[in-house]
Structure 1
């Protein structure tokens, strides 16, 4: 019995990925220990925040960093920093930003809901969202024609939720930012490469600590020193409602310190996905394969495509039976309408791949 079952909550097998709705990541013992020790003592929070920023900077090759309670908070805080800067009066005035340079340009296909609205997170920081182009078609001129004296930043979302077809790339957006001297913020919440966008010239980049990094519910902003200093100062304003605890910061630091020692783990994850595919290799009505993550990250999953007519069951019914079972199994179901599910090995605990395979076979009445 795990700690959640002790309180009457259902047991979950997470084969969906590092999802906020399922609690993000299961923590490495070193990360959990760092949080445990941090929780039992005291620290100067300002000093800890600055020290964490230096470690974040070192790990990302940025000039500075700022820990946050999550990537969503990073969006609001980054927005606020580019509107209010280090001016305490303006910091305390946000999110009311009338009369300030408060416009945040974003491509229409990036106005996603990730569990909440990207636009709402920008508004929390005082930003006025200026959407450009169409959901599948944005040209450079769309951006250029939207720039005004009130433009505070251009915002880019790197996510599997965001439209890819017809959108300008990160490099194109960064180039426009350079050309027009406008800061570029990149929301790279679940991205694995925590150096790429800084090295490509983004001014601020936001990451989740609880997704690819494998830390607790947390996040961070990294980027140019002056802008990151302004981000930290937002904790005197709107950021106060999003304050990050000492336990989260220490867990984030611990996760970052072991982040690059993951080659062996990745190989184990790939082998687990291959094993799952092998179990369905010669079963009529199922096509099993290894697929790469939709957003192009170095993440590989086991994909099962069901022939619903041959199997005499819908994919939605399979998903429902998996979720209603004991334990409850959550798989990746974004393409269920096409008869496709996928299994993410990164979030499986020891032996859970066997439980999933057996449960699917049981649902399909396969020996």
Structure 2
């Protein structure tokens, strides 16, 4: 018999999974990634080796080579939810997580994660407490409302209010306010899920007080006013103010729910942004309930706030849905810390990233672009041309949809084909810390409004894959 015929198959020479796991070289992988992930990576490395041998590879990989392959797989699986550079020009970018938290909020959330906290424990009485108590007084102080509560986002806040006061009853709303926002969120769908009977009044562009009055009957649960946060109707238009609707609702003995959407606790015009009615002003107009978001113009974590009359808030807190929509201890800690910043308005923009980004001047952003241009151009080489260009940023998340903020950007033009630019954008999305810009007018535009000066060196190092 030919000795070559009796030689074991190369596939049979591959070590077993158990052998690889038991080797000293596997210890660092097990310690870093755990047994399950390491075992899966070793199996994948062995399958890759089998495929190579079947395809004609001459050498059987040894234990070291197989474990190097396994380590590459383990370390090549970055977390899916990881930091990116938001250079899109949209400050509150829904797809990139909206508002960045203030350092005080980050510290508070970290402490809540690290330690037990008095979330629902009354330290003075030594008995069970209410989690809303941590922010109730702050919200009353900042909005002028009699009472306040909160849930996990503003859609939940609207749903909870509708379910509390209009379950099986009519909810009167103007046709011009039946909004749809990102993610196919439609107000009619929320009203249906809340169990409310939607009663549309007026037309798309004009709704009058008589339209509301004529729709009120014995089955009416509430009147709903919705802020058209991501669009504006202009021209031949008419709408009824929240103040007039509140008077009408009081006369009829039904509540008015005013959904502000983003909602701001301060006058944004002080930061160079177009003025929007504040939550305090909405409360003063007489609405029984006002809802607004925490992670948009307020600059905090995702949350939905409900402020209004004491009787209305008490009714909402008795709704069993409230428990299903409540926030956890980490978010509660971050919310409380964020709201506390508003008690010191003189230093608010300094401490709150959202306001700091919104308030940046074009000159400031342009100066930053000038500092970075040569370094980025040197990194890209002759394939691209890098210029400093003027552009306009957006607030984002449906806030101030027609307003832009004068800004500046690095504009990267290809010296070759458009495909080269697409490839660059894809490559930068694959960096250790992905860089997200936008392609417009034949250039990859990196609006630097949301790049802190302290992060410039991290941005540059990241381009070489060393971040």
- Decide whether the 8 Å contact of 2:262 with 2:292 is kept in 1: yes
SS in 1 for 2:241: helix
| Rounded Cα–Cα distance in structure 1 between residues aligned with 2:388 and 2:308 | 46
1:190 counterpart residue number: 262
Higher relative contact order (CA 8 A, sep 6+): 1
1:288 counterpart residue number: 390
For these two proteins, the number of residue pairs brought into alignment is 332
Flag the 1:284–1:112 CA change in 2: closer, same or farther, 3 A.
same
**Once the two structures are superposed, what CA deviation does each residue of 1:172-207 show, in whole Å capped at 9, x if it has no partner?**
243033124342222223232332211222221112
1:144 counterpart residue number: 213
SS in 1 for 2:224: strand
| Rounded Cα–Cα distance in structure 1 between residues aligned with 2:424 and 2:112 | 40
| Rounded Cα–Cα distance in structure 1 between residues aligned with 2:424 and 2:256 | 40
Residue 80, structure 1, aligned to residue 163, structure 2: yes
2:97 counterpart residue number: 23
Q: CA deviation at 1:228?
A: 1.2
1:203 counterpart residue number: 288
**Structure-to-structure mapping, 1:118-267, within 5 angstroms:** 118-135=187-204, 137-140=205-208, 141-165=210-234, 168=238, 172-181=241-250, 182-193=254-265, 194-234=279-319, 237-259=320-342, 260=345, 261-264=347-350, 266=355
Flag the 1:189–1:332 CA change in 2: closer, same or farther, 3 A.
farther
**Structure-to-structure mapping, 1:321-340, within 5 angstroms:** 324=429, 326=431, 327-330=433-436
Tell me which of 6, 28, 36 is aligned to 2:110: 36
Tell me which of 13, 16, 39 is aligned to 2:85: 13
- Decide whether the 8 Å contact of 1:82 with 1:153 is kept in 2: yes
TM-score normalised per structure 2: 0.58
SS in 1 for 2:305: strand
Q: Which runs of 5+ in 2 are unaligned?
A: 1-76, 122-128, 266-278, 371-384, 463-467
2:405 counterpart residue number: 300
SS in 2 for 1:300: strand
Q: CA deviation at 1:254?
A: 1.0
Flag the 1:268–1:250 CA change in 2: closer, same or farther, 3 A.
closer
**Once the two structures are superposed, what CA deviation does each residue of 1:127-152 show, in whole Å capped at 9, x if it has no partner?**
222233343x1221443343333222
- Decide whether the 8 Å contact of 1:108 with 1:134 is kept in 2: yes
- Decide whether the 8 Å contact of 1:69 with 1:218 is kept in 2: yes
Q: CA deviation at 1:332?
A: 8.2
1:275 counterpart residue number: 364
Q: CA RMSD in A?
A: 4.4
| Rounded Cα–Cα distance in structure 2 between residues aligned with 1:153 and 1:224 | 14
SS in 2 for 1:262: helix
2:26 counterpart residue number: none
| Rounded Cα–Cα distance in structure 1 between residues aligned with 2:261 and 2:230 | 11
- Decide whether the 8 Å contact of 2:425 with 2:444 is kept in 1: no
| Rounded Cα–Cα distance in structure 1 between residues aligned with 2:258 and 2:340 | 23
Flag the 1:114–1:53 CA change in 2: closer, same or farther, 3 A.
farther
TM-score normalised per structure 1: 0.71
SS in 2 for 1:165: coil
Flag the 1:10–1:165 CA change in 2: closer, same or farther, 3 A.
same
SS in 1 for 2:216: coil
Highest Rg: 1 or 2? 2
Residue 107, structure 1, aligned to residue 175, structure 2: yes
SS in 1 for 2:400: coil
- Decide whether the 8 Å contact of 2:91 with 2:358 is kept in 1: no
Q: Which runs of 5+ in 1 are unaligned?
A: 84-96, 360-367
Flag the 1:299–1:79 CA change in 2: closer, same or farther, 3 A.
farther
Residue 57, structure 1, aligned to residue 140, structure 2: yes
Q: CA deviation at 1:31?
A: 0.9
